[in-house]
Amino acid sequence: MDEFSLIQHFFSAANLDSDNKDVLLGIGDDTAIIKAAQDEELLFTIDTLISGVHFPEDTDPVAIGHKSLAVNLSDIAAMGGRARWFTLALSLPDVDANWLQAFSNGLLSLAKQFDVSLVGGDTTRGPLSITISVIGTAPEGTAIRRSGARTGDSIFVTGKPGMAALGLAAIKGSLALPGTAQATFQQKLDYPQPRLLEGDFLRNYASSMIDISDGLAADLGHILAASHCGAVINTDSLTCWQTGLSTLPDSRLLDAALYGGDDYELLFSVPAGMSFSLEQDWPGSFSPLSRIGEVTEDTGIMMRDNSGKLMKITARGYNHFHD
């Protein structure tokens, strides 16, 4: 099977299934032709996953397909946008129909879930890597940037940061988890759910937002740097969810919550006056909401433990070029 048949076979069904009238021309020409509405701004992003760097080499190809798109959709979610169209650049060491079928199943079922259309691609022979570029949209002037946090804002996070990192540690054999936790945490690592519904909802609340890919402390650091302020985080708010992991030392749990990457949950600030109504209005079907701290005038990130003691932490996190 040659390159063109391969792309056609596994990916063009996505195109045919879509009834998106905004896709004027999909896969199969030099470019796709698409049409945004007049009152929309475009959100444009790109992300790569490389085998052995972003996922273990023996990862289920269904998970690889899912995650490749999920990490990109997560960037759109972090702006409060709606994901619309994407292109896929796939580098493969060889043509394996079973692998491709599983990969495209993982990719396209997530695409279908959020009604985002695959409109073009490029397939080459090379080391396994997947690059996806997504265009999202948001009503004019409403996208949420990293730079809008203000002193006094409350800091919230969705979900339970640290689960993906603990799942990865368990896979690598550096951590023993109880059986049920192992499956749950690996699911979190392999099938991150982009928080698009939550992000859309938060356009009415958040003053700044980011998705947690590098780790909570590092990503909070990005918000604070862009907003020229600091933060205090309550230790308890990050470890209280980790019941059932009592065999692990607290420091290990906190480390995962602060420095573990790959969670793809949303981290955001909300003006103090709106925090209570956010908590009241938060839909029960959404990823759970936790208020974890507040924005301060002094730069840097401080941790406050349950005795009220403060300590400074560094914004380290996962970084491809740190050794």
Spatial contact of 194 and 47, defined as CB atoms under 8 Å apart: no
Give how far Cα 56 sits from Cα of 190, 191, 217, Å. 10, 14, 24
**Judged by CB under 8 A, does residue 106 bind a copy of itself?**
no
* 87 contributes a contact to a copy of itself by CB under 8 A: yes
Give the interface segment with a copy of itself, choosing from 12-20, 204-212, 231-239, 269-277 (CB under 8 A). 204-212
**97 in contact with a copy of itself (CB under 8 A):** no
Q: Does 197 bind a copy of itself (CB under 8 A)?
A: no
Nearer to a copy of itself, 35 or 228 (CB): 35
Pull the structure tokens for residue 113.
């879930």
Instruction: List the interface residues with a copy of itself, window 47-86 (CB under 8 A).
Output: 47-48, 50, 52-54, 75-76, 78-79, 81, 85
Window 129-168: contact mask with a copy of itself (x via CB under 8 A): x-x-xxxx-x-x--x-xxx---------------------
For helices 3-17 and 97-113, the axis angle rounded to 10 degrees is 20
Binding of a copy of itself by 120 (CB under 8 A): yes
Rounded to the nearest 10 degrees, the angle between the axes of helix 97-113 and helix 61-77 is 30
Q: How many residues bind a copy of itself (CB under 8 A)?
A: 69
Distance CA 169, CA 167 (A): 5
Work out the number of other CB atoms within 10 angstroms of the CB of residue 316.
14
Could you tell me the smallest distance in angstroms from the CB atom of residue 198 to a copy of itself? 14
Nearer to a copy of itself, 94 or 308 (CB): 94
d(CA 316, CA 123): 35
Q: Report how far apart the first and last C-alpha atoms of the chain are (Å, whole number).
A: 41
- Residue 223 burial (CB < 10 Å; 0-12/13-18/19+)? buried
Helix axes 179-190, 61-77, angle to 10 degrees: 60
Q: How many Cβ atoms from other residues are within 10 Å of residue 307's Cβ?
A: 6
CB 86 within 8 A of CB 169: no
Find the binder of a copy of itself among 33, 176, 183, 240 (CB under 8 A). Answer: 33
Using CB under 8 A as the binding rule, the residues of this chain from 235 to 294 that contact a copy of itself are: none
Strand partners, 183: none
Question: Could you say which of 17, 97, 112, 124 contacts a copy of itself (CB under 8 A)?
Answer: 124
Distance in Å, CB of 107 to a copy of itself, minimum: 14
Instruction: Give the binding site for a copy of itself (CB under 8 A).
Output: 1-4, 6, 24-25, 28-36, 38, 41-48, 50, 52-54, 75-76, 78-79, 81, 85, 87-89, 91, 95, 119-127, 129, 131, 133-136, 138, 140, 143, 145-147, 209-211, 226, 319-322
